[in-house]
Amino acid sequence: MKLRIKLCDWTIGSPPQQRSNLIRQPIFSLCWVLCFLLFPAKAIASDVDPYVGIYKADIGLIPYTVIKKHGQRYFAHVSPSSVELVIDETGKFKAKNANIDIYGQFKKKQGGRYQLKAVSLYGVRHVYHREVLDPQKYISALYSDSQAYSEFSHPVSEQCAAPYPDALVASERWLKRTPKMQSLVSKIEGGRLDYGMINSLLILKDGELVFERYFNGWQASEPHMMLSVSKSLTSLLVGMAVKQGAIEDINQSAVSYLPDYKVYFQGDRKRLTLRHLLTMSPSLYWDNWLRHQDNSPDTLGTEFDSDDSVAYVLSQPLSVTKGSITYSGRMVSVMGEILRVASKQPSVSEYARKGPLSALCFQNAFWVKQEDQRSNVAGGVVLRPRDMLKLGQLVLNEGEWNGKQLFDADWINESMKPASSSEANGNKYSYFWWNSAYYHQGKKYPAIKAVGYGGQEIAIVKDLDLVVVKTANSFFSGALIDKIMTDDVLPTLVK
């Protein structure tokens, strides 16, 4: 069975003959999230552990899995995500989370190490053999399929000096002075309830990386899936294109940038502007919040599989509710095509690699491609948490990076303002970003957030010169960022 990567807005799809049934099962958000991989050898090296190591199966695009040990807990890393395993003394294993249908058996022990593992992943069986892979070639090997991924890392140069020094010592020193953060780390490390799903937590205060901690076997060099944080990155790229003059005005009609698709812009659609796309009002149908509440077809997977995803999206009904938004990655897809055309680049990923964003010097940065080779702008970005932190700092500094203005401060002010009075869990939507607020000691602290399914988040609090980044596997639990900010971060930083 050949698996194909289907990372759309928040869900990883399945083979076409199965997808219509599987898309309504939240469990497959994680099942097919387990379709990417990259991990440096130093994170998994072990001389004695019988399970830890790299394994490979003959299954085409997704051949690798990595078993890591963090404390006394084992994790199967089979994507830029992970699953905690319970392994018995005979080598039999299963996912700790009962919602995840993964189980199997380690076999053929030699020199104290198992040489293969038989795995059942939601009823599909594979055999993985222990593999030796050059540590320096991990990332290039695991993301080498040009049909599935594009890399938008930036070449190492003098201008790409690491903006954040090694924060390990500083983090430990800071942690000792902050009881609330100590308690938070203990809950994460101990796998307590939803906290055990957190993979990284970084805090930038007054321009200094004061806290950086990775959990569940993750390392600083490893990128993590961003899912809908990809939308917020796309918004920043639009701002950069506006500053360059590639996009003149977001009040322009969408069809003016997409003449090849003018057949789809009839009637009210002629008035569809870039601003409409950026604010998801009105929206091209598929409402992601209602995806499990009706019998609508799987437009997410169909778009991803389409030979022309833009034509497919534009063929969908238009949802219009005055003064509200219809949260849908489809609007992002159309905006991504406009960005590609305006920037005169073959893909949005290439614009991210060659355009003004290159000043941020991303490393190990990848973008998932759809079937038609377009960048999946709604949910396909894979970034290191440190590079997520750069995005937050860029917004905090109103577009300035190392003395260079990558986009106008006016764009930040405009693109971060609520575009509608409607709310979702107390948050209001702007240009692919969320407006929120935190409260501490009776004072309100407005915040801007990039939010991705499963607990991928960037929280920016300008009044405190603060950026917080979190990645997680919270696909079956609460994402916790608001609770962590209110209960732990603000009480620690605001006296």
Quick: pLDDT tens for 167-206. Answer: 777 788 888 889 999 999 999 998 887 899 999 999 999 9
- Give the tokens for residue 494: 């605001």
- CATH class of the domain defined by 39-142: mainly beta
Of 58-62, 146-150, 211-215, 328-332, the range with the lowest mean pLDDT is: 58-62
Of 172-176, 396-400, 403-407, the range with the lowest mean pLDDT is: 172-176
319 touches 287 (CB < 8 A) = yes
The answer to whether residue 45 scores a pLDDT higher than 50 is no
The per-residue pLDDT of the chain, averaged, comes to: 83
- Confidence (pLDDT) at 146: 77
The answer to whether residue 324 scores a pLDDT higher than 80 is no
Quick: pLDDT tens for 441-493. Answer: 999 999 999 999 999 999 999 999 999 999 999 887 777 999 999 999 999 99
Quick: pLDDT tens for 261-302. Answer: 999 998 888 888 999 999 987 655 544 444 434 444 445 667
Four-residue CA torsion sign, 8, 360, 398, 445: positive
Q: How confident is the model at residue 101 (pLDDT cuts 50, 70, 90)?
A: very high
Which is more confident, 480 or 421? Answer: 480
Whole-prediction pTM value? 0.86
- Confidence (pLDDT) at 320: 58
Sequence spans of domains, the chain: 39-142
The answer to whether residue 37 scores a pLDDT higher than 70 is no
